[in-house]
Amino acid sequence: MTFTKAQLPKTLLTECDDIIATAHAMADAARAVILPYFRATHLGTENKDQSGFDPVTLADREAEKAMRAILATRRPHDAIFGEEFGKTAGTSGLTWVLDPIDGTRGFISGTPTWGVLISAMVADGPVFGIVDQPYIQERFVGGLGHSFVNGPMGMRSLGTSQVATLDQAIIMTTFPEVGTDQEAKGFHSIASQAKLVRYGMDCYAYALLASGQVDLVIEAGLNAYDIQGPLAVIEAAGGSVTNWSGGPAFDGGQVIAAANPKLFAQVLPLLTPFAN
């Protein structure tokens, strides 16, 4: 569902410009904090998952602190849900969902496939989102009447591809194993029919979909902060984002993002038998 200003709660209708400006201010602040850490020798990396590897760095934590500080000044009545510091209650009806570095594995490996994810969410889902790649200096923006990327090639409108058949589609996901064995089976059953499959792009895959470069992104095991920013950007650019059953995806879990309704309608029924 692509949100317009008219679909905002009445209490927030007059605040669209401030919501957008606040999101950009947070993205700017996160860039400034993160870049000195990227490809540096001392990242302060810790593992959040003792049964596997789920890294967090000083840059993750300091960037979320910087974004929260902006909200404390500009919009103290909004709620916050951040990956590193959890939930903070609010009273305005708007929740900021923050992932300071989506793709920390890529970040510590030196690849520019990670990004800062920001979304402004109401009860029915995100109304505005940003996917920001600080190193490349690309910012993908979607929602509340906006759909553009601003980067090294200037500002351009976003628009998804019109590839309508799976055999001509480029598909991306982050991990080859995708999730559980069942989820992997579902992904690979579709990927085997696609024209091209690429791995390891993290949130940048969704940005590429919004800009018309790729046609499908299919993932599992996501959190709300992994998908909300990309979801807003993709839907504003003309794409479709749901869970594997065709329901809302803003809470995370199993996610399919497709460039256009025709491709979505072809692929979703193939994926639904693997939905949980």
Cβ atoms of 61 and 45 within 8 Å: the answer is no
- Beta-sheet strands, E only, within the chain: 46-47, 55-56, 79-82, 86-88, 95-102, 115-122, 125-133, 138-143, 146-151, 154-157, 170-173, 196-199, 216-222, 240-242, 253-258
User: What whole-number distance in Å separates Cα of residue 208 and Cα of residue 83?
Assistant: 23
Task: Tell if the pTM clears 0.85, that is, is over it.
Answer: yes
Q: What is the pLDDT of residue 12?
A: 81
How do 46-47 and 170-173 pair as beta strands?
Answer: unpaired
Element (H, E) at 64: helix 58-74
Partners of 80 in the beta sheet?
Answer: 88, 96
Contacts of 15 (CB under 8 A, 6+ apart): none
- Is domain 5-154 annotated with CATH 3.30.540.10? yes
DSSP-based three-state secondary structure for 155? strand
Give, in order, the Cα–Cα distances in Å from 140 to each of 143, 145, 261: 11, 14, 21
Name the class of domain 166-274.
alpha beta
User: What whole-number distance in Å separates Cα of residue 143 and Cα of residue 5?
Assistant: 9
| Amino acid at position 116, single letter | V
Edge-to-edge order in the sheet of strand 79-82: 86-88, 79-82, 95-102, 115-122, 125-133, 138-143, 146-151, 154-157
Cβ atoms of 39 and 111 within 8 Å: the answer is no
Domain boundaries, the chain: 5-154, 166-274
Q: What is the pLDDT of residue 96?
A: 98
User: What whole-number distance in Å separates Cα of residue 251 and Cα of residue 248?
Assistant: 8
Per-residue pLDDT in tens (0 to 9) along the chain, 276 residues: 555 555 677 778 789 999 999 999 999 999 999 999 999 877 666 766 566 656 678 899 999 999 999 999 999 999 999 999 999 999 999 999 999 999 998 999 999 999 999 999 998 899 999 999 999 999 999 999 999 999 999 999 999 999 999 999 999 999 988 999 999 999 999 999 999 999 999 999 999 999 999 999 999 999 999 999 999 999 999 999 999 999 999 999 999 999 999 999 999 999 999 999
Two structure tokens written together for 81: 């849900």
